[in-house]
Amino acid sequence: MVRMVSAAELKPTTYAWPVEIAGLRVKAGRHLAVDDLDLRLGNGVHGLLGPNGAGKTTLMRALSTVHRPSGGQLRLLGEEATNGRVLRPLRRRLGYLPQHFGFYPRFTVREYVEYMAWLREMPKTAIPGAVQRAVERVGLTSRADSRLKALSGGMLRRVGIAQAIVNDPDLLLLDEPTVGLDPEQRVEFRALLRELGAESCVVVSTHLVEDVVAACSNVVLVNEGRLVWQGLPAELIERGEHGGTGDSPAERGYTSFLTSHRSAS
Amino acid sequence: MTDHIPSASLAAYTAGEPGLDDAAVWAVEVHLENCAECRARMAGLAPPPVLALLDDVQVMIDRGVRSGPGPVRRRTWRRLAHRWAVWSVVPWLTLVFSAVLAAFLLDREFPQRPSLVLLLAPVAPLAGLAIAWSRRSDPAWEITVGTSRAGLELLLRRTVVVLATVLPPLAWAGWLLEMSPALWLLPSLAFTAATLLLGGLIGVARAATLLSAGWLLAVALPAVLTSNLPVVVRPSSVPVWAAAALIGAVLAVLRAGDHRRFN
């Protein structure tokens, strides 16, 4: 079997960290949802964990350049993301699935993913092939010409993932990507995440600890807009073997870290 | 490029000999993809059973293609339409058509009063602009604004569609009322350019609302109440509107980066 060399491998990397955050502050309305956050993320799959209202979605919006930070430093793929001049080339290298995935009901799967590829300024000749690959990777080949309004919630989520990966992004941001997926699809999705994380930086915001343990190489735990803990999934599990509440060691580790943080602050 | 695959390598590849390593197989396959001559040579090297098998497969594929469903219809127009507009703008444009029609009927009925078509013309495209670039009207807004094409380019595409649908009814009304096109067209373009320029700073929807409200309260309403045609919509103001439209458009393009910033 001949191994294909991807463009990402040939591309020179001039930055040490795909995501570099220092003292980041981001508001959601009038509320400071991300408060003085410091974080560095390399290539791999990073699970962003935290309770409801922890600031995960606001942080994902800032990382996707949708939401403007109110302070601090945000460097993405070696570029200062608050600089308007670099936004256009930077955005070509991003993929983003928001928590609330908006779509055009009358579009087919292929049309929608094609449209998103066009919005990301992919070369015209590369779009059909890239769309086909993205649709195949999420297992929707047989529904590629179905209209979005005819798809189930889980299928729509997979369309959302397909549009996010269609441009082979260097930084992929997925907010609650496994919502609506059945157990078999979640297992397949975790395998896809690991595959994507081998060549790029993937940030997955979720409240499902088991997804993080199964698919992520790094865990980032946030609460009230601040970093609580960052480490390996194995360390989360290890922590759970010594305390915390939950059904699995990872869940117990998660609650243990949160409880410690709350009692300390 | 005149080098072709050596006959020995091609024969070994065709026969599937295990002696060829991955690198050699890769080199042969890459060359075959781009060389019709070598593909023809390979076909000549294939043993008769393989050729018979390939013929059978070809026949079956042809039969399947003929009897199977037709190719999926490519709805190109829909993909192109979305590159230029969002459907949610349609109800608003219908509202604008109705307003222009009502203004035309009133102007025709009461020709001695200030022309409502002229008073409406500057702000007629603004509702469409606000809707065309609004998170509430575009289901995929959050994804769209995070893409590289988001910004003035996409906004201009949607602006062109709004103008292309709003200006014809204004032109029709103006023609029937025997008005100079410059009287309604230039204020429309000037307000559109101002909305794009201001929209880069405060958001297109806010800019459209602000400018519409300002015009209606400061100019249109007093004109209707006093029955005096304001000086800003008289023929003497045409050069000012032309200059405003031109300067506004140039500034909007120069400030294109404002629309690429975080929202």
CA A213 – CA A250 distance, rounded (Å): 7
Per-residue pLDDT 10s for chain B (263 aa) are 457 888 888 888 888 777 777 778 888 888 887 888 888 888 888 888 888 888 888 888 888 777 765 555 666 666 666 666 666 667 777 888 889 899 999 998 888 888 999 999 999 999 888 887 777 778 888 899 899 998 888 888 888 888 988 899 999 999 998 888 899 999 999 999 999 999 888 888 899 999 999 999 999 999 989 888 888 888 889 999 999 999 999 998 888 877 776 55
Locate the chain A residue with the closest alpha carbon to B152: A88
Q: Shortest CB distance from B144 goes to which of A111, A114, A119?
A: A119
CA B39 – CA B11 distance, rounded (Å): 12
* Residue A22 located in a structural domain: no
* Residue A138 located in a structural domain: yes
* Residue B75 located in a structural domain: no
Q: Which of B211, B213, B201, B205 lies closest to B129, judged by CA? A: B205
* Residue B78 located in a structural domain: no
Whether the CA torsion B18, B22, B23, B27 is positive or negative: it is positive
Which residues lie closer than 8 Å to B89 by C-beta, 6 or more apart? B128, B131, B132, B137, B158, B161, B162
* Residue B72 located in a structural domain: no
Q: Shortest CB distance from B82 goes to which of A98, A100, A104?
A: A104
Mutation site for B-interface testing, chosen from A70, A74, A87 by largest number of B Cβ within 10 Å: A87
Neighbours of B95 (CB within 10 A): 12
* Residue B227 located in a structural domain: yes
The residue to which tokens 């200006």 are assigned: B167
On whether both B140 and B112 belong to a single domain, the answer is: yes
Tell me, what amino acid is at A156?
A: L
SS3 A42: coil
Contact assessment for residue A51 and residue A258, using Cβ atoms and an 8 Å cutoff: yes
* Residue B2 located in a structural domain: no
**Chain B positions in Cβ-Cβ contact with residue A98 (cut-off 8 Å):** 142-143
Facing residues of A97 across strands? Answer: A174
**Chain A positions in Cβ-Cβ contact with residue B82 (cut-off 8 Å):** 104, 107, 115
CB contact under 8 A, B139 and A120: no
CB contact under 8 A, A91 and B79: no
Which residues span the domain enclosing A160?
105-168
Which token pair is A254? 């998660």
* Residue A150 located in a structural domain: yes
On whether both B32 and B122 belong to a single domain, the answer is: no
On whether both B126 and B242 belong to a single domain, the answer is: yes
On whether both B40 and B92 belong to a single domain, the answer is: no
Residue A41: the pLDDT is 94
Whether the CA torsion B66, B69, B70, B74 is positive or negative: it is negative
Q: Shortest CB distance from A104 goes to which of B25, B140, B146?
A: B140
Give chain B's radius of gyration (CA, Å). Answer: 31
Contact assessment for residue B214 and residue B148, using Cβ atoms and an 8 Å cutoff: no
Contact assessment for residue B90 and residue B131, using Cβ atoms and an 8 Å cutoff: no
On whether both B93 and B57 belong to a single domain, the answer is: no
Which residues span the domain enclosing B120?
86-259
Locate the chain A residue with the closest alpha carbon to B260: A84
- Total of domains in chain B: 2
**Chain A positions in Cβ-Cβ contact with residue B22 (cut-off 8 Å):** 1-3
